[in-house]
Amino acid sequence: MPEFKDKVALVTGGSRDIGKAVSVQLAMAGASVVVNYYKNKEQADQTVDEITKAGGNALAIKADVTKSDDVARLVQSTLNALGSTIHILVNVAGGLVARKKIDEMDEEFWDQVIRLNLTSTFLVSKSVLPHMAEGGAIVNFSSQAGRDGGGAGAIAYSSAKGGIMSFTRGLAKELGPRRIRVNCVTPGMINTTFHNTFTKSEVRQRVASMTPVGREGEAFEVANLVLFLASDAASFINGASIDINGGILFS
């Protein structure tokens, strides 16, 4: 496992599923972790409790990462609690909201999905960067939907996730001279609340059967990739969007 002793990590959407797995694994590797959440304080507290009981250091901070004022408070609260530097940022927060085809959605819905996924990544990255040290790492979250357009009713979500890949490449170029790397994780079908909510069981079974490894992925497997990208072991990986989908789609 990579070593993150004396590092501070901020994980947006860090209280459940992939975000929780990332938070726990970063803490177990030695980082002090801020578990950001918005709606579910209980889940965030459970994640922090799991980390602290295992000997790690973490705290939960509520913030709506689609709002710049909330983001500013999140970052300042992180600095107040853990010191003047943030070494690792993982932008997990996002979601589909609902499946709507283009003739079913209005401008308000479109803006909501784009803001939840793409704008949030911009806002948090911009707010963290003045406090990120040379050698820092940002890991963003796209989706297989960003590559293939997603399933029915996912056009807004897939557009946002495709935008995150481009945002990652552009930011990697900007921050390279500061020795800050920016990469992107692009998951396929992962066993999470997201698919429990938005994907029919028969679709999940069909996708799993079509996947070369014959199953869905698990949150801890995605977290393993995040930790690698955030670590010095990935020191020459920058601007990449790395697929983790069991081989069902190649970029």
Tens of pLDDT, residue by residue over 75-92, are 999 999 999 999 999 999
pLDDT band at 207 (very low <50, low <70, confident <90, very high): confident
pLDDT, tens digit (0-9, with 9 covering 90-100), for 235-251 = 999 999 999 999 998 76
Question: String of b and e for 8-21 (b: at least 16 CB within 10 Å)?
Answer: bbbbbbbbbbbbbb
Q: Is the pLDDT of residue 175 over 70?
A: yes
Does position 136 have pLDDT exceeding 90, yes or no? Answer: yes
Phi, psi angle pair for 12, to nearest 5°: -80, 145
Tokens 């803006």 appear where? Answer: 111
Residue 143 CA to residue 184 CA, distance in Å, equals 9
The verdict on pTM exceeding 0.85 is yes
Mean pLDDT of the chain: 95
Sequence-distant (≥ 6) Cβ neighbours of residue 139 within 8 angstroms = 88, 89, 90, 91, 182, 183, 184, 185, 226, 229, 230
CB 93 within 8 A of CB 13: yes
pLDDT band at 192, cuts 50/70/90?
confident
Going along the chain from its start, the domains and CATH numbers come out as: 8-242 (3.40.50.720)
Contact 96, 154 (CB under 8 A): yes
249 Cα distance to chain centroid: 20
- Annotated active-site positions, please? 157
